[in-house]
Structure 1
């Protein structure tokens, strides 16, 4: 039966004549009962199920057939202000069609008649019964998964409707408390409840919840104990009274149900589920709902924030009832109880919600051996985004780029000071060390305890405390022996340098002179013989790992990269390019986020033409603001793609960002190195951008000033492309990132060995593709492309 075909009875049921008026409704939907009563004297029995705090319900049945029960529900006075009754009718019809609710028999002027579901309502004892609560959890999950929903018009995804409902309650509160001063005075004096405070509470709560990725589903939103019918014989439960049903966070339904364990008349919130029982209950729910894209621990945290959301929802609701309802119940007192509980819960919950789930989990990891409290390296994220500066400080408004750079840094530092000053003062008073960055407006703290993180979470300007990310250099997949070269064996051009035709550029008096390349890596042995040809090569150095003032490399990777970019002796692409080196990765190849971003900030200070990065990790957005700042400052980002091939969709971050030049690896035979990471990115972007030689690349090593080593990886390919970029910028220093990328990709060699693979719907025969990108770089082709671009823009 559709909502349109449900009988509508022109009758009103009066509160003071409830039973007699209800029988007039029964006359329409069960006429045979009236006949049996009038002709045969069969009694029509009635039973009041509950004098609830919103509506009145009474059940009717014929004495000879007690199983056929009709429920008459009389709407509470003025409840239409809060409840969309047509939506309730549509919901009940939808639920019955999906076997999730009772059949709706008829509508009358101030209520409805519907099918009675046999069983008993839950009590404060049975709701915890091991026989009952798993069935309740399973049924809630079934309703959440069964009822079909689709986004509202103009939206592409489901959104919670709870904020519209809360706004409706709030607007009613505003009108009521401005006129009902007696109610307003009591709420303020006894509970601190005011329309101004509630507005702030709503905004705070919405901001927290909307940051989460909580599943949205059809939710009951009012599963109090009296709305759960338990049929012990059939071992099943059913939910009734869906008048507040709407699309909502599924964890709101769960958290709201937990709150109802306290009861209604004299609620005792200490009875609400917590600890082990809550976890077990949620585990039962997730058995049926599933855990796609989240963990149980994360789900429990979402429930934790929805618990105060439920308290706030019903406290605002209760004000409307206090003003309008004729039911003998202290709604104002109920509002106060829920509001006070909201304030208790939100202080800790808001603070704890700022601690990233995986970090919180690590703090409670029993497998970690620690004499004292477990500690973690953390990143503190502040509310004020550096995008504010990027969007307001426009380089086109400055005639001199140096003025723009100074203004940009000053504004970024001002933003950092304004955002972080309170936390800095707190940290200084506690004697804790920290690293504060203006480039990202973040703070890094080593060995932070849970207690410290909870204290940091109490600051309004802190929006997230997360684990510090740990990336790696893209470690070589093959490393040959370290070789000490003799004078007789040097100066021969390596195969890879010859392959990309760098010597042709040198013959045109282009050796990268006038271009500065930044390198973030393990450091560099600046005394190596391959750098001795240019005593002014190294412009600046910074050590973000150990704080040493003199350049060094305790791993070797960075020296090898630097040699390929700007070394002499036939190993480097742009031998006369200057270098700014920053050590962010340790002797084991590990790169802490704190050190990487410190180097990124150092590069933003020094402003090289480009930065070569042969490091990365799993897909992550962590460095996107860094890249945006670099590009705004005219610094071009180059990243190795990673060594996770030959599978598709193995690109690492930041090499999978749309606004960087990412580099895969090829062999001396122009085949794709088997280790080279392929696209698409996890966000569906094509990658890498291009490839460069990366297999068996000989370059400088860190062990001595005459040491060389042949190693393989996209870490070796990326510096080839960075060196090429230096040559191109030497030819035309006015190139934009887009033009530089165009020249590199257009000039690349497309005729390469087909790996007989298709990634992301692209085969190697097409260009660009998700294996080679736009091809293997070629200096001659790229320089010709720059010449053509220069003529076009002349």
Structure 2
């Protein structure tokens, strides 16, 4: 078998093991003549590659996806739990199949669909498909305790950041004050329907959403951060991701002028609530819209901590610290308005 461009894997420490896994998968799925490894852009937690091979007959090209785990990601989630979730989601028919595991990563089924772009999230038709798929995903019955993971995960990350960050960053990012902020948000947002939970993706940026152009079906991928959480939090996360373009010349820069207006958020949530055939009342829609707005605050702290920690542990080329700065700034800019507006007080 001829292996092309495997220089991308050199120096990772597990090259031989990786190539054995790739070769085994390729052999199981086709009579391999040559195999090529091509890096894919846009990933910020792992390194992702497309594996392409041609059969000996030369009339068939097949693909798989290679995921190499990023440095330090064990800080953010438990890899064994993530793999169990991946396999369970696959069994539910919601994502790609797991083809092979090795020490530093895995090989996954290649989804023959288009990864969405930043502008796709604002397309009303595509947005409606995403809303319905989110509702379906949230209804998955996954193993493990069905309780909110958000707050403890943030506390763990805050503790980790205080351990690894330089004193200057601890001061500049106000880490010593974040315990109080997290406690305040948890108390405020743990009331009644604000606490309606389901199995959430928690990282629903456009790069984790794929669409089959022919069938218009949506597939959600990459479940590293998936867990049971408040449904409003996952909706808030998706709205916040509309300000990002990770494939621009400045992928770390967030443009908050692109945050969806009220009408767009209402439309998304109305479709989300209608996806099971029941037409929601305007009051129900507004209730969830307002709840999601509150949860944007938790989302800013969550990804702010992620960015700050990643700036110390990740080798992926991305301005993590600047990204973190923008998320924390947005938290403080929006906090007073969101927690003191009349609509928020009614919650």
Do Structure 1 and Structure 2 share a fold, with TM-score over 0.5?
A: yes
For the pair 1:148 / 2:136, whether they are aligned, the reply is no
Q: Tell me which of 311, 326, 339 is aligned to 1:322.
A: 311
Q: Secondary structure at the match of 2:260?
A: coil
For the pair 1:257 / 2:238, whether they are aligned, the reply is yes
Partners of 2:317 and 2:184 lie apart in 1 by 33
Q: Which runs of 5 or more structure 2 residues have no equivalent in the other structure?
A: 1-8
Judged with a 3 Å threshold, the aligned counterparts in structure 2 of structure 1 residues 51 and 306 are, in CA distance, closer, same or farther, namely same
- Counterpart of 1:238 in structure 2 is 219
Q: Which runs of 5 or more structure 1 residues have no equivalent in the other structure?
A: 1-12, 38-42, 153-157, 358-794
- Counterpart of 1:280 in structure 2 is 267
Partners of 1:315 and 1:254 lie apart in 2 by 18
Compute the RMSD of aligned alpha carbons: 2.3
Shift of 1:24: 2.4
Contact 2:17/2:102, CA 8 A, preserved across alignment? no
Which gives a bigger RCO, structure 1 or 2 (Cα 8 Å, sep 6+)? 2
More helix by share: 2
- Counterpart of 2:24 in structure 1 is 28
Partners of 2:52 and 2:64 lie apart in 1 by 7
- Counterpart of 1:355 in structure 2 is 345
Partners of 1:134 and 1:119 lie apart in 2 by 18
Cα displacement string for residues 701-743 of structure 1 (whole angstroms, at most 9, x for unaligned residues): xxxxxxxxxxxxxxxxxxxxxxxxxxxxxxxxxxxxxxxxxxx
Partners of 1:169 and 1:20 lie apart in 2 by 33
Alignment of 1:666-685 (within 5 A): none
Q: Secondary structure at the match of 1:232?
A: coil
Q: Secondary structure at the match of 1:134?
A: helix
Contact 1:218/1:246, CA 8 A, preserved across alignment? yes
Contact 1:14/1:21, CA 8 A, preserved across alignment? no
Alignment of 1:518-597 (within 5 A): none
Shift of 1:242: 0.4
Q: Secondary structure at the match of 1:295?
A: helix
Partners of 2:36 and 2:203 lie apart in 1 by 29
Partners of 1:72 and 1:24 lie apart in 2 by 12
- Counterpart of 2:327 in structure 1 is 338
- Counterpart of 1:40 in structure 2 is none
Contact 1:219/1:250, CA 8 A, preserved across alignment? yes
Contact 2:26/2:32, CA 8 A, preserved across alignment? no
Partners of 2:17 and 2:40 lie apart in 1 by 17
Partners of 1:348 and 1:44 lie apart in 2 by 55
Cα displacement string for residues 300-325 of structure 1 (whole angstroms, at most 9, x for unaligned residues): 11111111211110001112111111
Cα displacement string for residues 82-118 of structure 1 (whole angstroms, at most 9, x for unaligned residues): 1210111110111011111111111110111111112
Partners of 1:194 and 1:86 lie apart in 2 by 32
For the pair 1:61 / 2:57, whether they are aligned, the reply is no
For the pair 1:268 / 2:258, whether they are aligned, the reply is no
**Normalised by the size of structure 1, how large is the TM-score?**
0.39
Contact 1:311/1:338, CA 8 A, preserved across alignment? yes
- Counterpart of 2:209 in structure 1 is 228
- Counterpart of 2:133 in structure 1 is 139
Partners of 1:283 and 1:14 lie apart in 2 by 49
Shift of 1:33: 7.1
Alignment of 1:633-644 (within 5 A): none
Cα displacement string for residues 242-300 of structure 1 (whole angstroms, at most 9, x for unaligned residues): 010100011111110111111141211211212211111111111125659x7111111
**Normalised by the size of structure 2, how large is the TM-score?**
0.86
Cα displacement string for residues 220-250 of structure 1 (whole angstroms, at most 9, x for unaligned residues): 0001110011211110111111010100011
Q: Tell me which of 163, 172, 181 is aligned to 2:167.
A: 181
Q: How many residues align?
A: 324
Partners of 1:305 and 1:211 lie apart in 2 by 12
- Counterpart of 2:5 in structure 1 is none
Cα displacement string for residues 170-189 of structure 1 (whole angstroms, at most 9, x for unaligned residues): 11012123xx235435xx1x
Cα displacement string for residues 190-240 of structure 1 (whole angstroms, at most 9, x for unaligned residues): xxx222221122112111111242320000000111001121111011111
Contact 1:71/1:114, CA 8 A, preserved across alignment? yes
Judged with a 3 Å threshold, the aligned counterparts in structure 2 of structure 1 residues 14 and 224 are, in CA distance, closer, same or farther, namely farther
Q: Tell me which of 108, 114, 124 is aligned to 2:108.
A: 114
Partners of 2:25 and 2:142 lie apart in 1 by 31
